[in-house]
């Protein structure tokens, strides 16, 4: 299949070699190279920014209806290429192909959503305090948008950012994750096939050694007027500091530390299935995965029993291209070794290993349950990003909320309860941007996605997804 893969950067409507040569893209399931991809350097980034700035002159003048036509064409091309995209995504990311197929559909939904929502970027009329003036507001595109996307959703996160930026009237410079550039380059070809004008979407892959160089240019360039990043809190904090001198619009979707609470009134079977879905999707490598599972002491043992049985029955480890596999490899050796050390450290500190806890070879890690975990353990404080479920007991609602809110990260949180009064209290008390109540899946194009505290700024998806790519302008008329 490698002969069908696109490996060059996409700048100003043309496929070009990177100034830094090439770098290997590895298959995490085998550890073998899939192919080599263009390694972009500073000059390539500047060319992409210049192309986007030039294309902005005409793209921002297109009507929302005209831009919607392009977005719907991208949607159609995504769906037409669904199998090829999903296969490529699985090869470079490792997730099961069934999940990859779902991600392509998820990506397409954002282009459909923002095609329509872009037509509804309404202004306002503001009642004037004096007879001699009239006030109205309008929305205008922010300008060139730099988009930095993660490896765990190589097409989903690209779509969520690009669709909103294009709908708002911005042009884009996309820097995909170094582990998963191939899916982003397929997306560039889809934009080309959909007739997107040259320079409106540019894709500049680079190797890990050049990430800081490329990121610094995107942050410092005065031509880039908006930057959207999804990734770790540490990198997000660095980007936040680097963008200060150009005072650009900034949206950050950063790391999570999601609490998952099960109260005594919960439907235990539903809670177990919710934990399965939240914890083990993409082998636990999502920012909204259940990171700390809090179970009331009265149902703790029964929950652990049912949870471990569900894991044994439903989870199958292997290459994401194999039928029936639900758990692929960890994305790279760095993440794999970090996961191994987190679990070893927890067990050494007194956590009990109920199941799993081993690395059978390569980048695979067995789905794991740890009980008797305490809030002081590093595994309770760090984003795990792997198929490891840490379970902590609690006694009261107040204790559960306190434990859930101990983290400086606040992206998503989940809880299961059939006590209506408790549902309202806990939902309002959790210090997160999104709450799943008796429901593990919170992300959809129609709803706002984003966190609080160290989990970031801004919202993606929903009508609010256009805000980070547009400015509100006041027009004051003397009459």
**Positions marked catalytic:** 253, 287
Of residues 261, 232, 279, 236, the one with CA closest to residue 430: 261
- Bridge partners, residue 24, by sequence: 36
Q: Are 174 and 52 in contact (CB under 8 A)?
A: no
Contacts of 8 by beta carbon, 8 Å cutoff, 6+ apart: 15, 16, 17, 18, 37, 38, 185
- Bridge partners, residue 327, by sequence: 317
Phi and psi (nearest 5°) for 135? Answer: -125, 135
Other beta carbons within 10 Å of 479: 7
What's the CA gap between 469 and 308, in Å, rounded? 44
User: How many angstroms from the chain centroid is the CA of residue 200?
Assistant: 22
DSSP readout, 285-306? -STTSEEEEEEETTTHHHHHHH
Phi and psi (nearest 5°) for 254? Answer: -110, -170
Integer-rounded Cα radius of gyration of the chain: 23
Of residues 283, 369, 270, 264, the one with CA closest to residue 332: 283
Contacts of 178 by beta carbon, 8 Å cutoff, 6+ apart: 23, 151, 205, 206, 207, 208, 211
Maximum separation of any 2 CA atoms in the chain, in Å: 77
DSSP readout, 158-219? HHHHHHHHHHHT-EEEEE--TT-HHHHHHHHHHHHHTTPPTTSEEE----GGGHHHHHHHHH
């Amino acid at each position: 299949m490698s002969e069908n893969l696109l490996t060059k950067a996409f700048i100003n409507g043309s496929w070009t070699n990177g100034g830094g040569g090439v770098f290997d893209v590895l298959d995490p399931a085998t550890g073998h190279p899939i192919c080599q991809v263009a390694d972009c350097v500073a000059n390539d980034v500047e060319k992409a920014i210049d192309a986007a700035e030039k294309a902005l002159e005409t793209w921002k003048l297109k009507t929302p209806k005209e831009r919607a036509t392009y977005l719907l064409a991208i949607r159609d091309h995504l769906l037409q290429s669904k199998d090829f995209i999903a296969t490529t995504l699985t090869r470079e990311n490792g997730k099961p192909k069934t999940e990859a197929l779902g991600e392509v559909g998820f990506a397409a939904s954002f282009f459909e959503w923002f095609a329509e929502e872009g037509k509804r970027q309404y202004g306002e009329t503001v009642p004037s305090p004096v007879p001699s003036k009239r006030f109205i507001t309008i929305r205008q595109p922010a300008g060139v948008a730099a988009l930095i996307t993660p490896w765990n959703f190589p097409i989903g996160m690209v779509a969520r950012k690009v669709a909103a930026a294009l709908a708002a009237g911005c042009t884009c410079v996309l820097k995909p994750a170094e582990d998963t550039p191939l899916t982003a380059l397929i997306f560039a070809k889809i934009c080309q096939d959909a007739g997107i004008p040259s320079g409106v979407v540019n894709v500049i892959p680079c190797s890990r050694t050049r990430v800081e160089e490329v990121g610094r240019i995107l942050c410092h360039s005065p031509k880039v007027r908006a930057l959207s990043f999804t990734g770790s809190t540490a990198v997000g904090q660095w980007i936040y500091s680097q963008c200060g001198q150009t005072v650009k619009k900034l949206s950050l979707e950063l790391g999570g530390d999601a609490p998952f609470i099960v109260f005594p009134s919960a439907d235990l079977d539903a809670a177990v299935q919710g934990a399965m879905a939240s914890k083990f999707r993409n082998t636990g490598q999502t920012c909204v995965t259940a990171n700390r599972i809090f179970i009331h002491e009265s149902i703790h043992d029964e929950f652990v029993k049912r949870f471990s049985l569900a894991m044994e029955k439903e989870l199958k480890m292997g290459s994401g291209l194999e039928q029936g596999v639900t758990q692929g490899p960890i994305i790279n050796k760095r993440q794999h070794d970090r996961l191994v050390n987190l679990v070893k450290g927890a067990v050494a500190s007194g956590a009990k290993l109920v199941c799993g806890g081993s690395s059978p070879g390569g980048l695979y890690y067995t789905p794991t349950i740890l009980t008797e975990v305490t809030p002081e353990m590093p595994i309770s404080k760090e984003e795990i990003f792997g198929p490891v479920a840490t379970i902590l007991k609690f006694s009261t609602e107040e204790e559960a909320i306190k434990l859930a809110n101990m983290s400086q990260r606040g992206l998503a949180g989940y809880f299961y309860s059939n006590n209506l009064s408790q549902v309202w209290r806990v939902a309002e008390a959790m210090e997160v941007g999104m709450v799943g109540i008796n429901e593990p899946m919170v992300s959809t194009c129609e709803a706002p996605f984003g966190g609080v505290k160290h989990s970031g700024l801004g919202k993606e998806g929903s009508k609010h997804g256009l805000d980070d790519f547009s400015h509100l302008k006041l027009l004051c008329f003397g009459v």
